[in-house]
A and B are shown apart, each in its own frame.
Chain A
């Protein structure tokens, strides 16, 4: 059985701990999260890496499982739904819940935080790159 539900718990818990405060938003459009997952693969535990595949899609790099992972995160009430902005997801879990979930997955809080920080670094970097590409094309991007 695939463990995408567990990947969702890992991903959200890690982001929550990396951000330290609740109620923050993470972009889910423009392939930003997909790229962040690829860039941070080294920080994922082995079982999670096996669940993740990257594809060179018709619109750029995509993680095949991202829609399902986000769906599980929503179904597990760890992210908000409905999201008024839709290009982002709002992290609903508290650091307390994030710590408990990581423990259940056999991941330490420190490891989770490192993964979350790696994801956030990549997202920021990709946003910048996206902005540069957009500016070069004569526009802006908001995500």
Chain B
């Protein structure tokens, strides 16, 4: 595979992305060519720079030629840690500083591995003179890979990474496929890595590597692919295969440097023993006899009996575990600090709002202007104008101004599975089932940016309405804007790296993964899981209002309540008063179940199981599956479950309606009718319910509709009548949710509709057990079930005849 073949594949599969990359490369390459043209590399001497982490770093002349160009100098204005400096003021080091550190780290790793390789050639009972030496191509492709691995980052790195991807989502995916096809062992590729690799592979950079004064290696035409492979962690294009993970791998120069550097600058110590870690790197010699699995066995066989990978000695495992645990702590305390997350989310929102206000999305090239991050922020916010990048308007200015003055939004609510409340009173098995299903419903929506943004919009709409109902929140509600409510659900942002792609050698000479006693990688995943929390962020002054709106929205949308621990985590204990909740319920902004759920600790939502339902005995005999079917219908429609206080009413109403259907059938009451008005249906139903001593009220008596009945004080039954009908359950029937016009709090998640219909065909006359169905109502914000009971009339069947089974 030649570089030209690779370029052709990329140009064919991802033409627009490839063209944009070329444009970016073109702007930078002329400076590098000029730098190279002045003198041959061998007329210059390596340069030494000071560094706070490594002491000194030595750079070769061709590296300096690339370093002193817009391609890399742009990274001077891009911070390594984005907005973490808002919490850790010292954490303002740049990506430029980091990439120089990665060069030095990579060099030290190569030195250690070279020394170890040499030891293997000359020492030990299994000495192996054939352990490959590190070639010039290997060495310089690694160093250049270190220098260029981050050139694909935009301003504020990870915040803009997905925005870069969205410029060409399909082409990014295709480009990744091409890279995976050409290079072995490529796992996850971040968008910034794809950009960096494409820049390296561009025709323009090819001219740099093949410039007569570049002189790093004689096989200059091999450099682009080799550098790309180092950035991606691929085993391809490498003489000494054990070097494949030096830039991107389980123990790589990138991780070691950023952990050491981030810890140093932020002032957050993590105890990383990088000197020992690097010194304990080993060349692991894999043979068919000692291979830990069939794939490595085969690889060793194909390679003539031996293959070589980077690993770590047993005595280095402690340092490796330190690194893994330290990384978990850095993620929790530094990268995912809630203030950092809030600031990053504000920035993401700012970019979105600026795009709306300008009507134009930033192009890929736009993210690679020679601006610092602060300059980008100022331009997006509209404080500074630039001909290269559009500025937002008033809304952008509000968010950008808050960011520039560190008015970072506060936590109004915390969301996590371990905070789910109201389940303690349930039996253990049911508690776990309910918790998982509730959480599943919530994660499925909030896992995407769109889902999170839509939920933020719901909270905002509710907050505005609450301001109308609660005088002390009125002013805040009026001033609140949609942009100021952020729902941050970090699960969809956590980058979980491939772990344990590492080998070690036992005393007996076996090659094994290094989790002999303790799996540090899994420990760190468990730690991260425990610590990850979703948030609703809002400006400090609006936290009480948004806290209230969030709680109501969480219940109304997902049927969940976050318990007292969530308030502790968000520091919102006591912020929301019971009086506000009561007023919200009075204004019908919050159902009675919701109000009760937010103010008590009792179980709030329960699943409907088949053995909870009451079914007439005959019906269960005729249709043994009916209870399961109805229960499934409730589960599908309301995954979070039914409010505990209302579930019994629902179960009883279901049973009452089944008995009504049976009574009408046996009596032949509707058989001979030539018409059936809704009021008549209603009267028959009311008569039946009262005969069973069910508490029933006419809707009109309490300010509702004329053909509604309210039973058990909270369940609404709507009565409808239709003439000739083929399918009485057809979804085209659109019944408005009349509960909303009632001032008393009714069960809102379940609607009962009793529909009388005249069957148009024989098959439209349904068997008894098929005359009741539970289904989900679509097109409404909250989960909602409709129980529809259908009653045929005008069939002309004699009263003693039985309904079809």
Contacts and interface: CB of A to CB of B under 8 A. Distances in A.
Contacts of A141: 292, 512
A60 B436 contact: no
Contacts of B350: none
A61 interface: yes
A86 B443 contact: no
A26 B74 CA distance: 47
Nearest to A129: B294
A56 B249 CA distance: 14
B55 interface: no
Contact of B639 (A58, A94, A100): A100
B295 interface: yes
A133 B293 CA distance: 6
B502 interface: yes
Contact of A55 (B186, B244, B293): B186
Nearest to B494: A71
Interface in A120-143: 129-130, 133-134, 136-139, 141
A30 B292 contact: yes
B417 interface: yes
Interface in A30-61: 30-31, 53, 55-61
B742 interface: no
A133 B491 contact: no
Interface stretch (B514-522, B552-560, B594-602, B787-795): B514-522
Nearest to B310: A58
Contacts of A57: 185, 187, 498, 501
Contact of A97 (B295, B436, B497, B530): B436
A67 B522 CA distance: 10
Contacts of B439: 76-77
A72 B447 CA distance: 10
A71 B525 contact: yes
B405 interface: no
A64 B448 contact: no
A77 B435 contact: yes
Contacts of A61: 293, 295
A93 B437 CA distance: 10
Interface stretch (B24-32, B133-141, B503-511): B503-511
B297 interface: yes
A87 B515 contact: yes
A26 to B, nearest CB: 13
B525 A9 contact: no
Contact of A78 (B310, B436, B496): B436
B50 interface: no
B186 A82 contact: no
Nearest to B498: A67
A139 B510 contact: yes
A68 interface: yes
B502 A59 contact: yes
Given A60-B296, A67-B498, A75 B519 contact: no
B666 interface: no
Contact of A82 (B432, B440, B509, B530): B530
B339 interface: no
Nearest to B418: A77
B530 A137 contact: no
Given A136-B289, A139-B506, A58 B443 contact: no
Contacts of B497: 67
B496 A68 contact: yes
A58 B525 contact: no
A70 interface: yes
A101 interface: yes
Contact of B188 (A31, A58, A64, A101): A64
A133 B291 contact: yes
Interface string B285-329: 000011111111100000000000110000000000000000000
Given A28-B522, A58-B185, A77 B244 contact: no
B184 interface: yes
Interface in B746-773: none
Interface in B430-445: 432-433, 435-437, 439-440, 443-444
Contact of A139 (B244, B508, B529): B508
A71 B501 contact: no
Given A64-B188, A71-B496, A86-B518, A137 B510 contact: yes
Contacts of A136: 289
A129 B613 CA distance: 50
B296 A94 contact: no
A65 B522 CA distance: 15
B636 interface: yes
B501 A59 contact: yes
B436 A76 contact: yes
Given A59-B503, A133-B293, A139-B506, A75 B185 contact: no
A58 B440 contact: no
A86 B440 contact: no
A50 B361 CA distance: 29
A87 B511 CA distance: 17
Nearest to A59: B501
B551 interface: no
A56 B184 contact: yes
Contacts of A59: 292-293, 296, 309, 500-503, 513
Contacts of A71: 491, 494, 496, 525, 529
Contacts of B540: none
Contacts of B436: 76-78, 92-93, 97
Interface string B521-551: 0110111011010000000000000000000
Nearest to B233: A58
B293 A76 contact: no
B429 interface: yes
B438 to A, nearest CB: 10
Contacts of A28: 522
A81 B530 contact: yes
B184, B245, B443, B496 pick with most chain A CB within 10 angstroms: B496
Contacts of A92: 432, 436
Contact of A94 (B289, B295, B433, B494): B433
A101 B519 contact: no
Contacts of A77: 417, 435-436, 439
Given A59-B503, A71-B525, A137 B291 contact: yes
B415 to A, nearest CB: 12
Given A67-B498, A77-B417, A87-B515, A58 B510 contact: no
B309 A58 contact: yes
Interface in A73-114: 74-78, 81-83, 86-87, 92-94, 96-97, 100-101, 103-104
22 contacts: A5-B443, A56-B295, A58-B249, A59-B296, A59-B500, A62-B498, A78-B436, A82-B527, A86-B522, A92-B436, A94-B433, A97-B433, A101-B440, A103-B636, A133-B293, A134-B510, A137-B289, A137-B292, A137-B511, A138-B508, A138-B509, A139-B508
Q: Which 3 A-B pairs have the closest CB atoms?
A: A86-B519, A82-B526, A86-B522
Given A58-B501, A133-B297, 15 more contacts: A58-B249, A59-B309, A60-B293, A61-B295, A62-B501, A64-B187, A75-B529, A77-B436, A81-B530, A82-B526, A129-B293, A133-B291, A137-B291, A138-B510, A141-B512
Interface of A: 1, 5, 9, 28-31, 53, 55-62, 64-65, 67-68, 70-72, 74-78, 81-83, 86-87, 92-94, 96-97, 100-101, 103-104, 129-130, 133-134, 136-139, 141
